Structure 1
Amino acid sequence: MTKTLEEIAAQLRDANKKVQLIYAFNGTGKTRLSRAMKNLIAPRIEGDDTPARNKILYYSAFTEDLFYWDNDLKGDGAAKLVIQPNSFTDWILVDQGQEVNITRVFQHYSKAALTPTFNQAYTRDNADGSKSEVKAFSEVTFTIEAGDDAKTDAFKISKGEESNFIWSVFYTLLETVVAELSIAEPDQRGTDQFNALEYVFVDDPVSSLDENHLIELAVNLAELVKKAPAQLRFVITTHSPLFYNVLHNELDLKKKPANDGCYLLERHADGSFTLNTKYGDANKSFTYHLHLRRMLEEAIAQDKVERYHFTLLRNLYEKTAGFLGHDKWGDLLNTAEGNKEAYVRLINTFSHSSLSTEQVADPTPQQKQTVKFLLDNLINNYGYWKQEAQNG
């Protein structure tokens, strides 16, 4: 039976498990599920100013929205990563003073010399001649430490490094929370702000990491889950087979009855969802490529191709290209009639806009037909697919 994301969030809550691990393809709805879970566990109540983080901590694309770049193009100043006012970073930076540990985690997963520096409070001169106060720990600049106290000018880091930094803030918060809640007597803890914490929701942390660092991140996260007291329950979602497999093994989920707590989240053409129990790790269970093909064929048959289907099509091309030894998924378009570059642009336009749907119009009928055309190109021109269909 299909469900809404709100119903799936309720299913996860009612399962009452220490950890639930969910695999989902990009564009399926993992990030929206994190928001549905937050609204369920900590609904906004008029007149109640209790922060949601008192009951649930969550890391997702919404967490990254708390950070944005001020490139100061007019003032010719340093590029700064600005932290929007929020209780999440205020607690970990202002109240707990964890900037050193954030830097430690960040440098471990990136470059040891790449150094974030948090601002102290200062007064800013505005363009209209007025002045405004800038709070401490509301801006971050990044430099490369060159030795002998020398360093580069502040510069804008890459999107992957930015995601890594934001994860480092969240992970440091999570380390601190687990350490506090592991103190049995509440009155001996350094803070009572997390005494009522129930859930931690983690959605796809730092997908830009190389394999070695991604494995290490998964191992470290699994260790935190195992250290956490019984009151804390975790929901972890990912599109990465490697990240899923490491967590699956490190958390000993293969030893649970019927692979208790392991799922595949599917989105259907009508906008509904299914949360299916999965058995075994990703290599044994998901057959990603066949699943993607079925989802695309279903959408095409029902004339319900949407933006996210372009993401699925790209994933399918990437999976096939990797298996066949191609460096670029676009190489597989050489067998398709028409303009290869135009096909690449079309797929990239939709697949890179999954979180900014207001900027890209719905696919036109011709673009929907292109999805069918390019899926047929893959199936009809690569014998690998015929063999997989027999094996599937």
Structure 2
Amino acid sequence: MSTYKNLKSLVVRLRDDLNNPTKPTALVLIYAYNRTGKTRLSMEFKDAGKRKNRKNPTGTPDTLYFNAFTEDLFVWENDLEGDSIRRLQLNQKSSFFNAMTELALDETIAHYLSRYADFDFDFTYKEVLRGKDTISIPDFVSFRKGDESNIKVSRGEQNIFIWCIFMAICERMLDGHDSYQGKKYIYIDDPISSLDDNNAISIACDLAKLLRRAATRKNADAAPAPIKVIFSSHHALFFNVMCNEVGRKIDDAPSVDHRRYFLYRPSGDGSYELRATEDTPFFHHVATLAELQRAADPRKGKLYTFHFNALRSVMEKTASFFGHPNIAFCMKAMDNEVDRALFNRAVNLLSHGAYAIHEPTEMGEDNKELFRRILREFIERFDFALPAIVPARATASAPAIHGDPKP
């Protein structure tokens, strides 16, 4: 486990991982909660790659990236007056679209999109003056389905479409297209917002295939020329599928050399900790339990009403893991019938309020004590092995637990 005082020092570590002269790695997988700073980390990594220095005297950008900023390059024009011409406008100031005309991406985008959705698309281009040259750049994209044209797609479908554009661009980059000469890294942060689990698995498998190709890439002389990749996500299922897909052998091809990390912020001072997860991906609900245990510390923790929502979510995942439809299974494991009834009523009632994470309300003292009792009983009964992100000082109300979840 390593601690970094800011994002800049963390980026130095990640770049060192990818370029270690004795044992370089082609791929880094990072699991982190939402609000940890994954997007800001991806931007700091990108910015570090275009700073002028001895290795990069011209400040040429070395990273192709995908994150929330990429999705923001697409904005809906909903034709509020005519209510008929709906289209997705592309931000023409972004260099992201510079090479789209010459790349001829439509066919590759359509290939990927057909795997996840059932609508079609059409790009409309326009001529613009760049320096002394007139070039054609994409202006907007419209969507159609069957006999319907100019349709409005859902936010999930929109995100899938944008992701397919990025995948198509990655394909050209790995092909060695002139537009991407000098790019050494791909940084991908949370590409699956608003997706159902089925599409999440499909996209993870396709992405893993692409990253295998990046890691084993060779140049025209058949010498190794990998494109190094960092991938980060808060989505436990997506992260685990990625780990499994890049870690297994396929036919005669070896598994991809990679590292797995859990990234978190141990306090509010702006520092970051990076924990190697070795062979086992970091399961979201187990890590959440560790965070809840920290929050339940009566000396240094602080419990908010939304923590009941988080606890209920963990219980639902635990019940599902053991093949049961709801958290009643977890409640049956509690000590006695009186506690079971009380705990069940508390979790069901207090986890359904309008508790905003961005405007948190601290629990009352009675609810704090009740929360600590429920958490302690739950962890003890299911014998969770919590990650080493909770300080060695075990709280009196929520002791440290050892051992994996058992039936």
AA partner of residue 42 (structure 1): K
Q: Map 1:9-20; keep pairs closer than 5 Å.
A: 9-15=11-17, 16=19, 17-20=25-28
- Whether 2:351 is the aligned partner of 1:343: answer yes
2:84 pairs, out of 77, 86, 96, with 77
Q: Tell me the TM-score normalised to structure 2 length.
A: 0.70
Matched with 1:266 is: 264
The whole-number CA distance in structure 2 between the counterparts of 1:331 and 1:79 is 48
Offset from partner CA, 1:305-348 (integer Å, 9 cap, x none): 6899788657534533432556578998994546957733435x
- Whether 2:157 is the aligned partner of 1:206: answer no
Offset from partner CA, 1:43-87 (integer Å, 9 cap, x none): 499xx9x897x4111111221111122222233232222222244
Matched with 1:131 is: none
SS at match of 1:137: strand
Normalized per residue, the structure richer in helix is 1
AA partner of residue 11 (structure 1): R
1:322 pairs, out of 320, 330, 350, with 320
- Whether 2:63 is the aligned partner of 1:56: answer yes
The whole-number CA distance in structure 1 between the counterparts of 2:137 and 2:364 is 49
The whole-number CA distance in structure 2 between the counterparts of 1:197 and 1:107 is 28
Q: Relative to 1, partners in 2 of residues 1:383 and 1:61: Cα closer, same or farther, differing over 3 Å?
A: same
1:65 pairs, out of 62, 65, 72, with 72
Contact 2:121 2:144 in 1 (8 A): yes
The whole-number CA distance in structure 1 between the counterparts of 2:150 and 2:59 is 34
Q: Map 1:69-218; keep pairs closer than 5 Å.
A: 69-111=76-118, 114-121=119-126, 137-145=138-146, 151-180=147-176, 191=178, 193-206=179-192, 208-209=195-196, 210=198, 212-218=201-207
Q: Tell me whether 157-166 or 222-231 shows the greater mean CA deviation.
A: 222-231
Identity of aligned residues (%): 26
2:227 pairs, out of 232, 236, 242, with 232
Q: Relative to 1, partners in 2 of residues 1:55 and 1:222: Cα closer, same or farther, differing over 3 Å?
A: closer
Matched with 1:391 is: 403
AA partner of residue 118 (structure 1): F
- Whether 2:268 is the aligned partner of 1:276: answer no
Q: Relative to 1, partners in 2 of residues 1:260 and 1:338: Cα closer, same or farther, differing over 3 Å?
A: closer
Task: State the 1:293 CA deviation.
Answer: 1.5
The whole-number CA distance in structure 2 between the counterparts of 1:382 and 1:309 is 15
Q: Tell me whether 196-205 or 381-390 shows the greater mean CA deviation.
A: 381-390
The whole-number CA distance in structure 2 between the counterparts of 1:367 and 1:44 is 53
Matched with 1:6 is: 8
AA partner of residue 120 (structure 2): T
Question: Highest Rg: 1 or 2?
Answer: 2
Q: Relative to 1, partners in 2 of residues 1:287 and 1:154: Cα closer, same or farther, differing over 3 Å?
A: closer
The whole-number CA distance in structure 1 between the counterparts of 2:80 and 2:323 is 43
- Whether 2:206 is the aligned partner of 1:220: answer no
SS at match of 1:73: coil
Q: Relative to 1, partners in 2 of residues 1:250 and 1:343: Cα closer, same or farther, differing over 3 Å?
A: closer
SS at match of 1:234: strand
SS at match of 2:138: coil
Q: Tell me whether 301-310 or 9-18 shows the greater mean CA deviation.
A: 301-310
Q: Tell me, which stretches of 5 or more residues in structure 1 are unaligned?
A: 123-134, 146-150, 181-189, 351-359
The whole-number CA distance in structure 2 between the counterparts of 1:93 and 1:30 is 27
Q: Tell me, which stretches of 5 or more residues in structure 2 are unaligned?
A: 20-24, 128-135, 219-224, 332-340, 386-400
Q: Relative to 1, partners in 2 of residues 1:218 and 1:100: Cα closer, same or farther, differing over 3 Å?
A: closer
AA partner of residue 277 (structure 1): A
Q: Relative to 1, partners in 2 of residues 1:169 and 1:390: Cα closer, same or farther, differing over 3 Å?
A: same
Contact 1:310 1:371 in 2 (8 A): no
AA partner of residue 365 (structure 1): E
> What is the aligned length?
344
Task: State the 1:370 CA deviation.
Answer: 6.5
Matched with 2:46 is: 38
Task: State the 1:278 CA deviation.
Answer: 1.8
